[in-house]
Amino acid sequence: MMGPNEITVLVVFAYVTIAWLKTVSSGNVTVMDVLWGMGFVLIAWTRFLLSDAINIAAVACLVCVTLWGLRLGFVLHKRTKNRGEDPRYVRMRETAGRHWWWISFLQVFVLQGVLLLIIALPIFLLIPGSTEPVDWTAEKIVLSLVCLVGFLLGLLLEHKADMDLKRFRELHGPGNLKTDGMFSVTRHPNHLGEAILWWSIGGFAVIVGGSNALPALIGPVILTLLLRYVSGVKMSEVDLQERDGYHEWVTTTPAMFANPIRALLKKNAD
């Protein structure tokens, strides 16, 4: 009989396979970006429904992941529904040629399914939680509240960045570069917010599970590296390099991790 881990893996594989099948005829795979956040919601709810031992930590994780995933999925759906295929995937499709229909399955859908499972390690540790009751000492409660604050700050930062960018595009149209506001402190505040909230979830898993839960931090580590060096900053800026002000923006503004002292001084100077 399969356990919750094996069932979760099968559910994720079925999820990305169904998503891929819907793209075979068109070849457009941007839908996977929209389904990315929803994949974590699917993992959390799958494990929650399979769990025989529900505790407050599992419920807190479920609520946080669901809130984040639904928000991200909705924002990306609104952003991409009339925009067409993402330029990143257009380049990949042109490189793959007529083999794109099956290469996309491995290079986009299966790969993102594997990343979903790795980044979701804190969810695996928290839902279902240990059958042993959590000893909620005063220290654990305080640290858990710190993680909750971190999650909310990351979520608000990501949401505000997305909304500011949406309003900027509505006012100025495509092809322009937003470099003011929080985008003058960090070039990708939405990515920074996402990293902060996932480190908060990972930290919560360690607080609840102790040293045995330290492997859960692999998830936030992988996510942060991806956002900073692979699919986040690097790939999104390929199409920004020809815009006015890009090179000055890059030389004066960090990619993700802003210096809080510098940001405070800049704000006071303004």
Q: Which pLDDT tens digit goes with each residue over 45-71?
A: 999 998 887 889 999 999 999 999 999
User: CA-based diameter of the chain, in Å?
Assistant: 64
CA distances for 113 relative to 37, 49, 69, 75, 219, angstroms: 11, 20, 15, 21, 13
- Kindly tell me if the per-residue pLDDT of 175 is higher than 90: no
Q: What integer is the mean pLDDT of 86-90?
A: 81
The pLDDT of residue 266: 55
Nearest to 194 by CA among 24, 75, 77, 79: 75
The pLDDT of residue 90: 84
3-state secondary structure string across 119-151? HCHHHHHHCCCCCCCCCCCHHHHHHHHHHHHHH
Q: How many CB atoms lie within 10 A of CB 21?
A: 11
pTM of the model: 0.90
Q: Which pLDDT tens digit goes with each residue over 127-145?
A: 985 556 788 999 999 999 9
Instruction: Choose between 27 and 12: higher pLDDT.
Output: 12
Q: What integer is the mean pLDDT of 260-264?
A: 56
Q: What integer is the mean pLDDT of 167-193?
A: 89
For the ranges 42-56, 75-89, 225-239, the lowest mean pLDDT is seen at: 75-89
The pLDDT of residue 131: 59
For the ranges 14-23, 87-96, 215-224, the lowest mean pLDDT is seen at: 87-96
Q: What integer is the mean pLDDT of 113-123?
A: 97
For the ranges 57-61, 156-160, 234-238, the lowest mean pLDDT is seen at: 234-238
Residue 76 CA, distance from chain mean position: 12
